Amino acid sequence: MNNINTLKAHLAMNVKDVEASIDFYKKMLDIEPSKVRTGYAKFDIQNPPLNLTLNQNAFVAGGTLSHLGIQVATTEDVLELRDKWTERGLIPREEMQTTCCYAVQDKAWVSDPDGNEWEAFVVLEDNLPEGTAKSTDATCCVPTFVGIGGKTQEVATACC
């Protein structure tokens, strides 16, 4: 893609209730949607550059999506996002100095109305050797939550 002038990544998510998801993402991202139609919303995010669309679609269970994340530069950035999410009525939880995906990271997590997990994270130490990790489980870095729509409580975290 070196010769292609890319603008931003695009992520289209199926949601059960577009209005509840709009409310969550307005709080999480601190921006208004740039487009709202029946069963559809678009957030044009500048930092990090992302075209995020929400498509109302009935579904029974989640798909193969593990989790989503925003990588930031420092632990202070993680904590600032965590605090902003709290101020906006979301219920974040943090994982500090966790070994995940062969790296030491500080993280804050929130869950959208459909149970999609978002993490804000900073990598403190990378490329740890195999055997350093807590687990080689395929669910690395995926918190297990009970509840929906930001009203959640962590049960356990599997991290490799």
pLDDT mean values, one per 10 residues, the chain (160 residues): 77 94 97 96 94 89 78 95 96 93 92 93 89 47 46 43
Q: Please give the pLDDT value at position 53.
A: 94
Q: Please give the pLDDT value at position 150.
A: 45
Q: Please give the pLDDT value at position 135.
A: 35
DSSP 8-state class, residue 131: T
Q: Write down the pTM of the prediction.
A: 0.74
- Report residue 27: phi and psi, to 5°: -70, -45
The CATH number fitting domain 9-56, selected from 3.40.640.10, 3.40.50.300, 2.130.10.10, 3.10.180.10: 3.10.180.10
Q: Please give the pLDDT value at position 6.
A: 76
CA angle 144, 64, 143 (to 5 degrees): 15
DSSP 8-state class, residue 133: S
Q: Please give the pLDDT value at position 102.
A: 85
Q: If you search the block for the tokens 């010769």, which residue do you land on? A: 3
Residue type present at position 101 = C
- Structural domain boundaries in the chain: 9-56, 68-158
Q: Please give the pLDDT value at position 82.
A: 96
The CATH number fitting domain 68-158, selected from 3.40.50.970, 1.10.10.60, 3.30.160.270, 3.30.720.110: 3.30.720.110
Tell me how far apart the alpha carbons of residues 105 and 121 are, in angstroms, rounded to a whole number: 7
